Amino acid sequence: MSRCECGSGRIETDCCARHHAGEPAATPEALMRSRYSAYVLALTDYLLATWHPTTRPHALAPAEAGLKWLGLEVRECSMQDADHGTVEFVARSKLGGRAHRLHETSRFVRENGRWFYLDGDFAA
């Protein structure tokens, strides 16, 4: 059994794989981690399904050839109220021999018992 791509340290079947299979994420952090692992695994249908309809793109471009995700660091999670939360994270990747960092504070909203990614702000 392999560890989940999200960096939680848990077995993937007990972590993000269950969300990819349809179980709703219980928190914004759980949804954010499952979305990161979906990027690693190229699960574009899941990414679109967990993106709020008001901000969701029509489609996602395939990952660039050779892109390798290297890890996720969740820095902070906070709840603004019962249905709104934020997650600050850094996702590391490598493409063409160059390292990249995506540092974002993402906003999440819960509707009808399901969390959705709404949007995010990139850190400088």
Per-residue model confidence as pLDDT tens digits over 32-65: 999 999 999 999 999 999 999 999 999 999 889 9
Share of the chain above pLDDT 90, in %: 95
Report the side by side order of strands in the sheet with 68-81. Answer: 68-81, 84-95, 98-111, 114-122
Looking at the whole model, is its pTM more than 0.85?
Answer: yes
Query: Domain for residue 1, yes or no?
Result: no
Query: Domain for residue 83, yes or no?
Result: yes
The pLDDT assigned to 124 comes to 67
Whether the Cβ atoms of residue 123 and residue 103 lie closer than 8 Å to each other: yes
Q: Rounded CA gap, 103 and 38, in Å?
A: 17
Average pLDDT over residues 73-99: 97
Q: For the residues of 7-38, what is the DSSP string, one character each? A: SSSSBGGGTHHHHHTTPPPSSHHHHHHHHHHH
For residue 97, the domain's CATH number is: 3.10.450.50
